[in-house]
Structure 1
């Protein structure tokens, strides 16, 4: 009986031994040759199917986890590239093209003396001006300035004679350069040296002075009402000196004080 059991056990081991050699795998490397591990058994791969290969460190490096651009690919600031920085927005700033018209009223007086006789022309006056130019730096403006003073129905005095003539008009025109500086609160100061000329028209007959020197100083304040327009008020003080025409002509010296509404585009 013992011999029968031994023979049966030996036969069982001989039959199961080859199967156990290939059974119980957990990965392909435990199988011999090109065999692969399928359901914990080593089997031959199907034709056309490559055996799985473990991923190497080189393979891991070839597939980056996340793409990031190189430092040189990122946009650089104006300072990094060496180019000057672009100016900020020009909204509500005094930069670039400049236009400033104004319209107002006030008083003008012109006087002269000849052969001991004093003469003067004075009265209520209107004024109009326009300056066109550009900013040389922020808040610093250079422009060409055209302005006038016009008094209708002025009072004319010569010696002891005074005449209120409704048919007379005294006009001064001026053209020249202008410098304007803007300060805190959008307050501005302008100086305008100019060439000037006076004209007195009486009953349809006009008489002109020679071209002379003039100067207008202005102090104003404006408030921004849009991105590039400001509105405000300005006070003018104007001066002209003009030689009359004719023989031994007198010099007419004139002063004007006016206030005006101003508008600035910048």
Structure 2
């Protein structure tokens, strides 16, 4: 991970000197924000019990990097997804519980690449991989009640932007985020996964 971030920083530093207007060949900074549908599923003790949250979720991300060739950018990626529905617990004993929360956040830190399809359409494809953490807030207090370790995540994106200035673009993007992690809940092994689908606005300096 350190080598990846060092490569991204090197590409970004070089790109300041070669950036040209209305091209994707320089320093890259992009932010996204949007809404979508997400699912969280935590399998405890090989299916004896489950914790789920499914429904509305919000997405935000920041990407920082630089072009290594025109149209191909490598970048660090920082993202957060927040699930809004309550957590629902169920078990084979027939016991069901609903747990309200003030915020269920999935944080992502990693690196990736964005490729702008040649031809001036400003359609782009992106992918990132990295480390994820889970955090649930109850009464404004963050709690690791799921006892999940840091996990793995991937983000895949497709979108389109329109130039509003020689170095600035606005656009829309559709993204899919997958995360997984393992841990121990109530002295039993648990395995958690999330699937997030988001439609977002993008703002890019390039």
TM-score normalised by the chain length of structure 1: 0.63
**Residue equivalent to 1:195:** 131
- The answer (yes or no) to whether the contact 1:216–1:236 under 8 Å persists in 2 is yes
Residue 116 of structure 2 aligns to a residue whose secondary structure is strand
Cα distance between partner residues in 2 of 1:88 and 1:250: 49
2:162 paired with 1:223: yes
Larger radius of gyration: 1
**Residue equivalent to 2:143:** 206
| Structure that is richer in helix per residue | 1
| Count of matched residue pairs | 178
2:21 paired with 1:91: yes
Cα distance between partner residues in 2 of 1:225 and 1:144: 24
- Residue pairs, 1:53-132, within 5 angstroms: 90-115=20-45, 116-132=48-64
**Residue equivalent to 1:46:** none
Label 1:89 to 1:148 Cα distance change in 2 as closer, same or farther (>3 A). closer
Residue 158 of structure 1 aligns to a residue whose secondary structure is strand
Cα distance between partner residues in 1 of 2:78 and 2:98: 31
Q: What displacement does 1:119 show?
A: 2.0
- The answer (yes or no) to whether the contact 1:142–1:180 under 8 Å persists in 2 is yes
**Residue equivalent to 1:18:** none
Q: What displacement does 1:196 show?
A: 0.3
**Residue equivalent to 2:98:** 163
Question: What is the aligned-residue RMSD (CA, Å)?
Answer: 2.0
2:108 paired with 1:174: yes
| Structure that is richer in strand per residue | 2
Cα distance between partner residues in 1 of 2:18 and 2:192: 50
- The answer (yes or no) to whether the contact 1:151–1:169 under 8 Å persists in 2 is yes
Larger relative CO (CA 8 A, sep 6+): 1 or 2? 2
Pairing partner for 2:81 from 144, 149, 172? 149
Q: What displacement does 1:123 show?
A: 2.9
**Residue equivalent to 1:244:** 183
**Residue equivalent to 2:204:** 264
- The answer (yes or no) to whether the contact 1:155–1:162 under 8 Å persists in 2 is no
Q: What displacement does 1:248 show?
A: 3.1
**Residue equivalent to 1:44:** none
TM-score normalised by the chain length of structure 2: 0.80
Cα distance between partner residues in 2 of 1:130 and 1:193: 14
Q: Deviations over 1:211-256 (max 9, x none)?
A: 1100000000000111110100001100000113453320101110
